[in-house]
Amino acid sequence: MIELKELTKIFDTGKAQLTAVDDVNLSIADGEIFGIIGYSGAGKSTLIRILNGLEKPTSGTVDINGQIITAIKGAELRKARQKVSMIFQHFNLLWSRTVKENIEFPLEIAGVPKGQREAKVKELVELVGLAGRENAYPSQLSGGQKQRVGIARALANDPEVLLCDEATSALDPETTDAILDLLVDINKRLGLTIVLITHEMHVIRKICHRVAVMEGGRVVELGDVLEIFQTPKQEITKRFVAQVTETEDSAETIRNLRELYPTGELVKLIFVGEQAEQPILTKLIRSYPVEVNIVQGDISHTQRGAYGTLILLLKGSKEEIADAILFLENENVQTEVMAND
């Protein structure tokens, strides 16, 4: 359990004062994959660095599994850091060491004897899928492989929490997906709590259970990933959600659809969780006299279930269409009539 209470960090830059983190309160459960999303400068980097004591907050406390990280220092803090490890956007591997030696580094720091280190490294190399590359130097690895080394290194001392600092932002989309899959796998297998920061909604959608949206140092929205996708409240959250759904509901697409289908009513349905698996369309067609054209559909999977959007063209009299929409609303499908604009 990670508990952030009234966390504030103010940087004193000589003349001006910059509030990087502004009164943040969060509670992250054990085994959860918790995402923090925000644009650069939102304070998420500072926030994640407070979690392992790389930054000291100006006020407030961080409690990780009963230990007040913000109150300890010196040897005690160094010891605690072995249980709250971190991976980085630019991997931060030692180029002078091989894959094996890089993974061994945190074990050396923890004072693990040589024999045990070797066994642990072997196990970790297998876990992250780098068998056969143990003796390569980082310069000989691809970005994805480097991050795998970073992950193996972070897991070496059996941490309880893994902090991911934009861990996939320097990777191409395919490699990003592979690394995200690995993180989910680790989360399930080792029961590790993962806190990640990112500016990509795709990352949040793919692996997070819950998400906090940060803007100007504050958490402006917090909730289940599905819920955030379904009903984003803040303007910034809507923009982030649009990052991954934009392809289907951008204004231009809608305009094109209107030109293609000048009569009838365009309706966007949003299905969440179990609804996505219900035969709602069948019911609609069987029970109502409207004509239904499927214009566009998309379904994506999050860690908390499926999330789908469907754009339908309903043809019929005004009353018939209104009835059909009422039916959809009664089925608890979020329905949005796409207005002319």
Partner 1 sequence: MIESLFPNVDWDKMWEATVETIYMTAMSTLLTFIIGLILGIVLFLTSLRQLWANKIVYWLTGIFVNVFRSIPFIILIILLIPFTKFLLDTIRGPNAALPALVIGAAPFYARLVLIAFQEIDKGVVEAARSMGATTWTIIRKVLLPESKPALISGITVTSIALVGYTAMAGVIGAGGLGTLAFLDGFQRTRPDVVLMATILILVIVFIIQWIGDALTRKADKR
Judged by the rule CB under 8 A, the positions of this chain that interact with partner 1 are 52, 54, 77-82, 85-86, 88, 90, 92-97, 105-106, 108-110, 137, 139, 153, 157
- The nearer residue to partner 1, 157 or 300, going by C-beta atoms, is 157
CB of 295 to partner 1, least distance (A): 47
- The nearer residue to partner 1, 79 or 188, going by C-beta atoms, is 79
- The nearer residue to partner 1, 88 or 327, going by C-beta atoms, is 88
- The nearer residue to partner 1, 42 or 103, going by C-beta atoms, is 103
- The nearer residue to partner 1, 53 or 232, going by C-beta atoms, is 53
Do 89 and 169 meet the contact criterion of CB atoms below 8 Å apart?
A: yes
Do 105 and 93 meet the contact criterion of CB atoms below 8 Å apart?
A: no
Question: Taking every pair of C-alpha atoms in the chain, what is the biggest distance, in angstroms?
Answer: 79
CB of 139 to partner 1, least distance (A): 5
DSSP structure class, residue 278: S
The sheet carrying 16-28 orders its strands as 16-28, 2-13, 59-64, 67-68
CB of 153 to partner 1, least distance (A): 8
The sheet carrying 210-215 orders its strands as 84-88, 161-165, 193-198, 33-37, 210-215, 218-224
Indicate the helix (H) or strand (E) that contains 337: strand 334-337
- The nearer residue to partner 1, 121 or 280, going by C-beta atoms, is 121
CB of 38 to partner 1, least distance (A): 20
- The nearer residue to partner 1, 67 or 92, going by C-beta atoms, is 92
CB of 189 to partner 1, least distance (A): 22
CB of 92 to partner 1, least distance (A): 4
User: For the residues of 251-275, what is the DSSP string, one character each?
Assistant: HHHHHHHHHH--SSEEEEEEEEGGG
CB of 97 to partner 1, least distance (A): 7
Distances (CA, A) of 287 to 252, 267, 309, 317, 326: 33, 18, 22, 15, 12
Distances (CA, A) of 185 to 60, 170, 180, 336, 338: 33, 21, 9, 36, 39
CB of 78 to partner 1, least distance (A): 4
Q: CA-to-CA distance for 197 and 332, rounded, in angstroms?
A: 33
Q: 310: which residues sit within 8 A by CB, 6+ positions away?
A: 268, 269, 271, 281, 294, 296, 297, 298
Helices 99-109 and 114-127, axial angle in degrees (round to 10):
130
- The nearer residue to partner 1, 86 or 244, going by C-beta atoms, is 86
The beta strands (E) that lie in 158-201 are given as 161-165, 193-198
CB of 109 to partner 1, least distance (A): 5
- The nearer residue to partner 1, 54 or 292, going by C-beta atoms, is 54
